[in-house]
Each structure stands twice: as structure tokens, then as C-alpha cells.
Amino acid sequence: MSYTINELSKMFHLPASTLRYYEKIGLLENVEHVNSYHRVYNESHVDRLNFIECFKKALLPLDEIKAFFTYEKDMVVNYEKILDMLKTQEQKTIETMKDLEAGLTQLQKKIRYYSLVNEAVKNNSPLPSWDDL
């Protein structure tokens, strides 16, 4: 199966310029340039983009994602390094999730407070205090 830049663009909700950019920085490799006219991608690019999106969600910067793919090319030599990177990233992701949860809790507390403000204004009753939660 082969894909045009526009097909991949739609498939991954990434602008074509971003796909060209990823190729430029070496994150996508071996993209066929037909007649120096247009790019043709294959399944390997779809697979790689799936991982890239996945790592991006886990907040891994692009240069580390790239380093990861570089190490993977010689995994029998680099598996320890790879495991190390993956585990570090796992911990970071877990940390980030905890922070997000704490942030979410505060957001929801504020939402409860302003729901009370809403009611108070509508009933012409006194404004709630932060301690009423």
C-alpha cells in the first residue's frame, strides 16, 4: 500500500507541512520522491507515525523520539539504552498524569464554587465563600 502526503495528512490530522518537517529533521526516513515531483509513503511510515503520535502524547520531545528510532535500528546492541529511555519516559508520563489530576481537582473545585456563585446571583442571595465547598 502506498500513500500520498495528503492521505497521510488526513489519516493523522497533521498538516502536510508537518510531514515534510518530520522528514527534514530525520523523524521520517526513506520517503520516496517520485520524479522529484511528489512523495510516496508506505506502511512503514504509517507505523512510524503511529509511534510518533503516541510518544508525542506522552510528551517526549521530537529529538528523543528520533534518538529512539536510531537506537532501534540496532536493538541487539542498544536494547539497554532503549529500555532505559522507555522507563525514564514511563516515569515522566506518570508524573505528568499526577500533576494533571491535581490540576483537574482544583479546576473542579473552582467549578463547584462558581456554580454556587451562579445560584446565589440568580436567587439574589449572598455570595458563597470559598469555605462553603
Partner DNA sequence: ATACAACTTGAAGTTAACTTTAACTCAAGC
Partner DNA sequence: GCTTGAGTTAAAGTTAACTTCAAGTTGTAT
Phi (first) and psi of residue 38, to 5 degrees = -150, 160
Instruction: Provide, rounded to whole angstroms, the least separation between the CB of residue 95 and its own copies.
Output: 10
According to CB under 7 A, which one of 61, 77, 110, 125 is a site residue for DNA? 61
CA distance 133 to 121: 17
Scan for cell 455570595, then name that residue. 127
Scan for cell 516515569, then name that residue. 91
Q: Residues touching DNA: how many (CB under 7 A)? A: 21
> Mapped to the 3 state alphabet, what secondary structure does 76-122 carry?
HHHHHHHHHHHHHHHHHHHHHHHHHHHHHHHHHHHHHHHHHHHHHHH
Q: Which of residues 17-46 bind DNA (CB under 7 A)?
A: 17-18, 20-21, 24, 33, 35-39
Instruction: Provide, rounded to whole angstroms, the least separation between the CB of residue 85 and DNA.
Output: 15
CA distance 97 to 67: 24
Q: Is 69 in the site for DNA (CB under 7 A)?
A: no
90 binds, among DNA, its own copies, none (CB under 5 to 8 A by kind): its own copies
According to CB under 7 A, which one of 4, 42, 106, 108 is a site residue for DNA? 4
Instruction: Provide, rounded to whole angstroms, the least separation between the CB of residue 4 and DNA.
Output: 5
Instruction: Provide, rounded to whole angstroms, the least separation between the CB of residue 50 and DNA.
Output: 15
* Cα→Cα distances 84→47, 71, 91, Å: 22, 12, 11
Point out which residues bind DNA (CB under 7 A): 4-6, 14-18, 20-21, 24, 33, 35-39, 56, 61-63
